[in-house]
């Protein structure tokens, strides 16, 4: 495993920024049961909605719009049942071992936890952005370039101590490792050479965020960590985001949630927004909780 993944996993493990309830297995129920569609509060039963993803039918269940796919062959998934789905009316499906699947944009009517199909078409191709912008370093490099300050403390052990101590601060907001400055992160780097460089703790930039007193935090971290370091501000602490995440763990219709420490937000995945976004805005303020529905209202 390349060090980019190892160190990011380490940072996320120490910060506790893990999604909850992300595993979707089997059919999903309605999160808006019995409500009438209301444009001001999301969508409910009777709403016309659209979802994009894998449609799969297996010997265990009829056609479903997947909300999570297990990368097996044939794949397995779970999601809301599709009423009126007809494989003969779509192109691009694959079949194996009694399972049929394909990627589609499905428009239909939502009711009782099921989607009655109006039309299905090929999904639009969306170009993925290069790299993960959430793990870029916001600080300008000192003196024009990132460099090791103290080789004696630019070690794995020193990084782990610095991260653990940072996470113990009440205004701690998150941490990650930026490998973008590492020449080995170039896709053209030979695998053996890349492996060695990406396991070199002197190459990445350690990023740590707090909500205040950045000069003090940087000085304390610098006393422990001798590699490249960026200390930046965040709008909310990790504790605030995790508190909201915990409060939403048992919310009906929530599939999972993930803190985004750079933005100071909590992203919440749901099947359909039956008014959750409005309630979250009223409770926590606009823009703190971002509700991401798998099925979005359409005209």
Residue spans of the domains in the chain: they are 39-121
Tell me what the pLDDT averaged over the chain comes to. 82
> Which has the minimum average pLDDT: 156-160, 186-190, 238-242?
186-190
Parallel, antiparallel or unpaired: strands 172-178 and 61-65: unpaired
So what's the pLDDT on residue 44?
56
Chain centre distance of CA 72:
22
Q: Which residue has the tokens 């937000």?
A: 265
- Which residues in 85-119 are b (16+ Cβ under 10 Å) and which e? beeeebeeeeeeeebebbebebbbbbbebbbebee
Characterize 190-225 residue by residue with b for buried, 16 or more Cβ atoms within 10 angstroms of its Cβ, and e for exposed. Answer: eeeebeebbbebebbbbbbbbbeeeeebbebbeebb
For residue 126, what pLDDT is reported? 60
SS3 197: helix
Winning range, highest mean pLDDT, from 15-24, 112-121, 132-141: 112-121
Percentage above 90 pLDDT, the chain = 64
**How far is 35 from 45, CA to CA, in rounded Å?**
6
CA distance 32 to 42: 9
Structure tokens at 63: 């056609």
Q: Could you identify the residue written with the tokens 């927004």?
A: 273
Q: What tens digit of pLDDT does each residue of 54-83 get? A: 999 999 999 999 988 888 999 999 899 999
In this structure, the strands spanning 172-178 and 205-210 are antiparallel
Alpha-carbon distance of 285 to 294, in angstroms, equals 23
Residue 213 pLDDT greater than 70, yes or no: yes
Q: Is 39 exposed, middle or buried (0-12, 13-18, 19+ CB in 10 A)?
A: exposed
User: pTM to 2 decimals?
Assistant: 0.73
Separation CA 187–CA 296 (nearest Å): 36
Q: What is the largest CA-CA distance in the chain?
A: 66
Instruction: Give the Cα separation of 1 and 19 in Å (integer).
Output: 22
Residue 214: what pLDDT?
A: 98
Query: Among 107-116, 146-155, 177-186, 273-282, whose mean pLDDT is lowest?
Result: 177-186
Quick one: which of 177, 195, 187 has its CA closest to 136? 177
- Tell me the three state secondary structure of residue 295: strand
pLDDT per position as a tens digit, 247-269 = 998 888 899 999 998 999 999 99
Q: Which helix (H) or strand (E) holds 118?
A: strand 114-121
When pLDDT is averaged across residues 25-51 and rounded to a whole number, the result is 50
- Only one residue has tokens 């969306």, namely 126
Element (H, E) at 270: strand 265-272
């Amino acid at each position: 495993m390349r060090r980019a993944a190892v160190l990011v996993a380490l940072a996320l493990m120490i910060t506790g920024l893990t999604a909850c309830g992300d595993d979707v297995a089997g059919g999903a129920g309605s999160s808006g049961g019995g409500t009438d569609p209301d444009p001001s509060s999301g969508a409910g039963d009777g709403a016309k909605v659209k979802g994009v993803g894998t449609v799969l039918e297996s010997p265990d269940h009829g056609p479903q719009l997947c909300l999570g796919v297990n990368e097996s062959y044939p794949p397995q998934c779970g999601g809301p049942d599709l009423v009126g789905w007809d494989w003969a009316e779509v192109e691009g499906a694959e079949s194996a071992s009694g399972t049929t699947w394909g990627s589609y944009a499905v428009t239909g009517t939502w009711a009782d936890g099921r989607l009655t199909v109006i039309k299905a078409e090929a999904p639009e191709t969306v170009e993925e952005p290069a790299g993960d912008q959430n793990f870029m370093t916001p600080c300008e490099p000192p003196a024009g370039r990132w460099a090791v300050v103290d080789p004696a403390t630019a070690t794995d052990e020193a990084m782990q101590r610095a991260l653990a101590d940072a996470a113990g601060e009440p205004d701690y907001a998150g941490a990650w490792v930026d490998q973008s400055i590492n020449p080995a992160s170039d896709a053209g780097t030979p695998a053996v050479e890349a492996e060695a460089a990406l396991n070199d703790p002197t190459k990445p930039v350690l990023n740590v965020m707090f909500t205040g007193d950045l000069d003090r935090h940087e000085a304390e971290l610098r006393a422990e960590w001798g590699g490249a370091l960026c200390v930046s501000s965040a709008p909310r602490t990790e504790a605030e985001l995790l508190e909201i995440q915990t409060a939403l763990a048992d919310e009906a219709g929530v599939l999972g949630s993930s803190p985004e420490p750079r933005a100071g937000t909590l992203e919440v995945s749901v099947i359909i927004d039956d008014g959750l976004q409005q309630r979250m805005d009223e409770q926590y303020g606009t823009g703190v909780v971002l509700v991401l529905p798998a099925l979005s209202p359409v005209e």
